[in-house]
Structure 1
Amino acid sequence: MPKKIYTKEMIDYLKEITPGRFTEEVTEMFNQKFNMQLTENKIKSLRSNYKIRSGIPASLRGVKANQGKRIFSDEQERFIRKNVQGKSNKDLAELINHTFGLQITIAQIKGWKANHKLSSGLTGYFERGHVPINKGTKGMFNVGGNKTSFKKGQPARNHKPVGTERIDRDGYVIVKVQDDGPWHKRWRPKHKLEWEKVHGKIPPGFVLIFLDGNKQNITMENLKLVTQAQNLQLNRKQWRSEISEATLAGVNLTQIQAKVTKHKKGPTPVPASVSQNKK
């Protein structure tokens, strides 16, 4: 705020009350005297402008500042120092919260101990001669012996028998066909299995499509064998539909388009040198 709003009486009073007092107390006294609502920062700025010093050593100002940041009372600090030995940060935090009704976190108690150079004395290591609870058993966490361990030949709890069907993440129905081998040999798409029962193996370069787009409608009427090039054209031209007849018409269009393209290209020309050699 501009200096001109402060009267000589105000400045003289500020000079009188500042020595030996913290800014908080000076601000309260000044506001009460002149019926104002200045902040501590305003009082600091005013004192700085008029070079008014409190004379309080920096060490005492630091103590005052830290008192406002304390998370524990003197009684609570004495309690912590008495009970810190042999307790983890988690156990100590729970004990403090239970005793004083606080909500201190593990991070807070850890930081407080570090700032006050306190240690629990715990090293985190087992003492010499300590017997592990899983001694004599297989597995690091196999506590209590091998009574529940898997035996050789025992099926897993989530084992699925051959013939089990499920829906994969792409929406296809897949069937378990065998127990051994890699995943893609143990599980196969059901629509391919059903097609191969009637028509045999799917030739290389061909794929099966669902005419109505429903991957779970596995009937011979809904399955159509097309080339990979036709499948690509169906996707590019957006000739697929939920109506089977419409998708089938799209397949026919791809066949017509392929014949037209082939006709436009015509027969492959024979180089003149090859033609003369034949003569």
Structure 2
Amino acid sequence: MPKNKYTSEMLDYLREIAPGRFNDEITQLFNERFDMDVTDSQMKSLRSRHKIQSSLDPKDRGIRANQSKRLFTDEQIRFIKKNAIDTSNIALTNLINAEFGTSFTLKQIKGWKKNRRVSSGLTGHFEKGHVPINKGTKGMFNVGGNKTSFKKGQTAHNFKPIGTERVDREGYVLIKVADEGTWPERWKFKHKVEWEKVNGPIPEGYVLIFLDGNKQNLYSSNLKLITKSQNLQLNRKQWRFDNAEATEVGLSLARIKEKISKIQKEPTSLADEVSR
């Protein structure tokens, strides 16, 4: 995928989920969030270009391997197995998304079933003497006949109105803001939507964090706009806490580190300061 296809929102999301995760897990979460098909190698290159690190020791991979490959929750797995028999992959994808308010793709459902040998029992072939359900109706591909087809203006059973909220796998509250466009254009992080209502668009080079670490605490006092370099320091030094005041202290240290880094990159500025 061309570099310019990755939006600032996508890169910000990577910076938020990368700490504490391996590349394959980051890739999986990214693809689920934006309904994409990025490979592990593409993700590795993308993170390298934008200096997005996970700060993980490779020796921890064995411990986390089983945790990092889960696509569905236990409840969703039970739902898939219960409804897989005599159900096409397309229908099963629609069912699970309607049941859990998710946005799993057909490819994810098919891949998961294939890897775990979960079969629908459907062969894709009609038995001898079978009478098609749409026999005598108009429309060669209109399975079920015209009487049960969607009519113009009819709303899908899993349609979610604007303003609908849901919590994603990372614990972020998402809110639907539009009926048209791509998934990222229709669903936004609610904390960003609420913050931007008051303060305007988040400036380039900045991110919004939760001071107490609770992604569902959307009070303005819990949201803090910081630079991406400060955010990187919070991740690297593990200066994030479930206490807002403690995180503020960590942020103060991150600002100091940021200033020191700038001074070190401009030795002439430091010399000027000393000479004054």
TM-score range, shorter chain: 0.3 to 0.5
Normalising by the residue count of structure 1, what TM-score does the alignment of the two structures yield? 0.47
Normalising by the residue count of structure 2, what TM-score does the alignment of the two structures yield? 0.48
Structure showing greater radius of gyration is 1
Specify which structure has the bigger relative contact order, considering alpha-carbon pairs within 8 angstroms and separated by 6 or more residues: 2
